[in-house]
Amino acid sequence: MPGYDSSQFPAVAVTVDLVVLTVRDDALQALVIRRAEEPYRGRWALPGGFVLPDEGLDAAAARELHEETGLSGSDVHVEQLASYGAPGRDPRMRVVTVAYLALAPDLPTPSAGSDAADAQWLPVADLQAARRSLAFDHADLLRDGVERARAKLEYTPLAAAFCPPEFTIAELRHVYEVVWGDPIDARNFHRKVSTTAGFVTETGETSARDGGRPARLYRRGPVQLLNPPLMRPR
């Protein structure tokens, strides 16, 4: 990079795209927007848009998330995922996109109150089964985002990002079961979560009932890394 001519550089547009995941109706779901214009008219696309001239990448991701979903950064975990810049990925021009992964709780207002009224949640399994349902290379972004989310549940307490601020251990377990697609022993999971220092903190309240003994309510704990991690069934 030393001594390059700052008036002469390849014309590239930079965007951010968001893989926004949630757990709804016993399924891992992603936020998608139906494209109204060519190319890929009628296909689903991930929310995203240009990075503004004086805006950092994280800020652009947070802004797009807010514009397209009404979600603010404090509700949702957002982290950078990866960048995608294959020359032909957008037929109109050279676009390099920085993808972000966002994990959101299943909010009462799913995706309303925003510009994109046509944004909606769809099960990841459906999007991945229907070949070519996603525009551009967004199937790649989705695959990588889901893979990252699955991996991160193992060694971080991020499953709580899919839960409301207060949650029961059973709700947390349900997140793991949906994201990993495997049943988990409730008893061992309970012990693991409640004995790992800093994973969750007890509120003292108990939950609304759904059948049996009331469950204690917890909030996210202070730790960022689970050590030792939770083991995913192989």
Partner DNA sequence: GCAAAAGTGTTCTTCGTACACCCATGG
Partner DNA sequence: CCATGGGTGTACGAAGAACACTTTTGC
Q: With contact defined as beta carbons under 8 Å apart, do 29 and 123 qualify?
A: yes
Residue 17 near which of DNA, a second copy, none (CB within 5-8 Å, type-dependent): a second copy
- Helix pair angle (169-180, 186-195), 10° resolution: 110
Position 204 contacts DNA (CB under 7 A): no
Nearer to DNA (CB atom), residue 41 or residue 191: 191
Residue 10 burial class via C-beta count within 10 angstroms: exposed 0-12, middle 13-18, buried 19 and up: exposed
Q: With contact defined as beta carbons under 8 Å apart, do 81 and 1 qualify?
A: no
**Residue from 1, 4, 213, 225 binding DNA (CB under 7 A):** 213
Cis status of the peptide bond prior to 214, with omega within 30 of 0: no
Q: Which of residues 27-56 bind a second copy (CB under 8 A)?
A: 33, 35-37, 45, 48-56
Position 197 contacts a second copy (CB under 8 A): no
Position 98 contacts a second copy (CB under 8 A): yes
**Residue from 129, 210, 222, 225 binding DNA (CB under 7 A):** 210
Those residues whose C-beta lies under 8 Å from the C-beta of residue 97, and which sit 6 or more positions away, are 14, 15, 16, 17, 48, 83, 84, 85, 89, 141
Position 122 contacts a second copy (CB under 8 A): no
Nearer to a second copy (CB atom), residue 61 or residue 175: 61
Query: With CB under 7 A as the contact rule, which of the stretches 63-71, 77-85, 152-160, 166-174 interacts with DNA?
Result: 166-174
Query: With CB under 8 A as the contact rule, which of the stretches 22-30, 86-94, 157-165, 169-177 interacts with a second copy?
Result: 86-94
**Residue from 25, 26, 74, 87 binding a second copy (CB under 8 A):** 87
Nearest CA-CA partner of 56 in 87, 100, 12: 100
Please name every residue paired with 96 in a beta bridge, in sequence order, or none if there are none.
14
Beta-carbon count within 10 A of 211 CB: 4
Q: 7's torsion region: left (phi>0), alpha (psi -120 to 50) or beta?
A: alpha
Nearer to a second copy (CB atom), residue 75 or residue 90: 90
Binding positions for a second copy, rule: CB under 8 A: 1-4, 6, 9-15, 17, 33, 35-37, 45, 48-57, 80, 82-87, 92-94, 96, 98, 227, 234
